[in-house]
Amino acid sequence: MFQKNTTKPSRDPAASACISRADLPAWVFAKPEPEAPATTPHDAADATDKLLTRAEAARYLRVCDRTVSRLMRTGQLPAARIGRAVRIRQSDLLDMLNGKPSISAGLSACRE
């Protein structure tokens, strides 16, 4: 399938002539994509609004899943129900750790 090239490179100066622009493919002349702009403060807030499952939040806090469920039930950790799944914003988790007050709507009766 592959053939080995057994010819030696030529030492002839004509063989090492410069490559003309027409011989090069178009991608050689393509301009690089501009770099992404620097992040702004509102982008940093969006980065922490990642949704976590109860197990991921428990792993982050290094506690049991039941502890996270109890924190949600007592209203200390706000969470949202999406279908049957319960999701916790990472920013809400960090706010709880920093001692900011939170509001949990309607999850006190939820049982998982």
pLDDT in tens, 48-59: 579 999 999 999
- CA-wise closest residue to 79 among 46, 47, 56: 56
Q: Is the pLDDT of residue 15 over 70?
A: no
The model's confidence at residue 98, banded by pLDDT at 50, 70 and 90, is: confident
* pLDDT tens, residue by residue, 79-95: 999 999 999 999 999 98
User: Taking the C-alpha atoms of 65, 69, 75 and 78 in order, what is their torsion angle to the nearest 10 degrees?
Assistant: 70
- Specify the pTM: 0.49
